[in-house]
Amino acid sequence: MHESMNKRLEERLVRYARVDTQSDDSSATVPTTARQLDLQRILKAELEGLGASDVRLNEAGFVLATVPSNVRKAAPKVALLAHVDTAADFAASGVKPVVHRGYDGQKVVLSGDPRVVLDPAIDRALAARRGDTIITADGTTLLGADDKAGVAVIVTVAERLLADASIPHGDVRICFTPDEETGTGIGHLALEQLGADVAYTLDGEALGEVTYESFSADQAVIRIQGVAIHPGKAKGRMVNALTLAAKLIGLLPQHARTPETTDGRDGFIHLVHMQGTAADVELTFILRDFELAGLEAHGRALQAAANAVAELEPRAKVTCTISRQYRNMRYWLEKDLRPAELALEAVRCAGVTPIQVPVRGGTDGSQLTERGLPTPNLFAGVHNPHGPQEWASVEEMEKSVETCLHLVRLWADQAPPASKKA
């Protein structure tokens, strides 16, 4: 059984990774890219072939399915979610997965670009996976194991549950989501469509990781409108928006509030996009912090920089617009820790020491939890996401499958919410 599951997980991740599913945060369509549907159609057909019930691909690009309950008593309905889209941070088209069986613990030089090296002396997670089957891309693209490793884990969980009636479980809802990387996808899924009492995203990294605390997040857009004129006649008249944008960036804290200078529980201000001309520039920032007070402080720092630039050059028009994205799931989960506690117990049942860490990011679970569906995040065996050094361990994915199987069994012993008891 171990060897069979290992091969299935490897085959699935390799197959899914080859499908380009990159999302686009500049698109207003739902989903943001049609190519995400290429994988969703594959997954729909695969779940149907495994014998899942109620399989459908809805108008917003979500694949939904059910593994029906095999226990007689009423039990909570558990949803397992993973996202199919890949990040826009790096090339994601033409992914060539490379399988490294029996990883020997040495540096891994990727064949497509020998400058891209996985070094266990730097990557402690990789150093711990000697002997595993490691999957990478070839160095010219990201792998997309974020979150296709999670997708492969969930399909394999569904396969096991449908084939093995000895594992007790209530209804298990399967959901593959688009546009997690843009933060816009899960908002198009009604909780009634998901139909679950508790949910878990399979979108974590380290072996044994259970996350029930995430960043709180806002987005900020600063627009600087200068004064355009022919550069030959510009003296005393031109106001260069690009120059003012550079001054604004220089006003921001550089050594305490950027991603590259923070870790642990530190928040940050991150400039993610800048476009424009000497006449008009738009800068997009993401603001992240575990505490609302810190998030608000980041917003004030940005607003202060925008005000300073406006005061420096009164002829320019400078605006700063801050919009809410998501909030730390801890604010809701700490009111009832049972979803997290059962996840920790499931990890232990799989023979793994659980790790409780706040995630320096967000998942679909952040928004679902805020909307009333408790949704911690579980490990799926992916490391170094969003870049060419991304890799996944098949053995860690296998432990993720085992964790999910124990988790649905544990939930089968729990009483359903009072309003949903049979």
Same fold, 2-214+328-420 and 216-326: no
* pLDDT given at position 396: 98
Does the domain formed by 216-326 have CATH 3.30.70.360? yes
pLDDT in tens, 236-248: 999 999 999 999 9
Q: 162: helix, coil or strand?
A: helix
User: Structure pTM?
Assistant: 0.90
The domain defined by 2-214+328-420 folds into Aminopeptidase (3.40.630)
Q: What is the mean pLDDT of residues 264-289?
A: 95
Q: What is the mean pLDDT of residues 53-70?
A: 98
Q: If you average pLDDT over every residue of the chain, what do you get?
A: 95
Quick check: 180 and 36 in contact, CB under 8 A? no
* pLDDT given at position 75: 96
Please tell me the number of Cα atoms within 13 Å of 167 on its side-chain side.
23
Among residues 20, 46, 85, 395, the one annotated as catalytic is 85
Closest alpha carbon to 9 in 157, 126, 138, 114: 157
First CA to last CA distance, the chain: 36
Q: What is the DSSP letter of 419?
A: G
Closest alpha carbon to 10 in 307, 401, 367, 375: 401
Element (H, E) at 326: strand 317-326
> In the structure, what pLDDT confidence band is assigned to residue 272 with cuts at 50, 70 and 90?
very high
% of residues, the chain, pLDDT over 70:
98
Quick check: 272 and 289 in contact, CB under 8 A? no
- Compute how many other C-beta atoms are within 10 angstroms of the C-beta atom of residue 15: 15
* Amino acid at site 234: A
102 has pLDDT over 50: yes
Domain ranges for the chain:
2-214+328-420, 216-326
* pLDDT given at position 2: 66
Q: What is the mean pLDDT of residues 38-57?
A: 98
79 has pLDDT over 50: yes
> In the structure, what pLDDT confidence band is assigned to residue 419 with cuts at 50, 70 and 90?
low
341 is catalytic: no
DSSP codes of every residue in 220-246: EEEEEE-B---GGG-TTT-B-HHHHHH
Quick check: 45 and 164 in contact, CB under 8 A? no
* pLDDT given at position 256: 66
> In the structure, what pLDDT confidence band is assigned to residue 208 with cuts at 50, 70 and 90?
very high
> In the structure, what pLDDT confidence band is assigned to residue 421 with cuts at 50, 70 and 90?
very low
pLDDT in tens, 344-399: 999 999 999 999 988 888 889 999 999 999 999 999 999 999 999 999 999 999 99
Q: 74: helix, coil or strand?
A: coil
* pLDDT given at position 324: 93
> In the structure, what pLDDT confidence band is assigned to residue 1 with cuts at 50, 70 and 90?
very low
* pLDDT given at position 249: 95
Q: What is the mean pLDDT of residues 49-53?
A: 98
118: tokens are 């996985």
d(CA 115, CA 52) in angstroms, rounded, equals 44
Give 73 or 253, the one with higher predicted confidence.
Answer: 73
Among residues 20, 147, 159, 180, the one annotated as catalytic is 180
Query: How deeply is 164 buried, as exposed, middle or buried, from its count of CB atoms within 10 A (0-12, 13-18, 19+)?
Result: exposed
54 is catalytic: no
Number of H helices, E strands in the chain: 11, 18
- Compute how many other C-beta atoms are within 10 angstroms of the C-beta atom of residue 378: 26
* pLDDT given at position 143: 98
pLDDT in tens, 10-35: 999 999 999 999 999 889 999 999 99
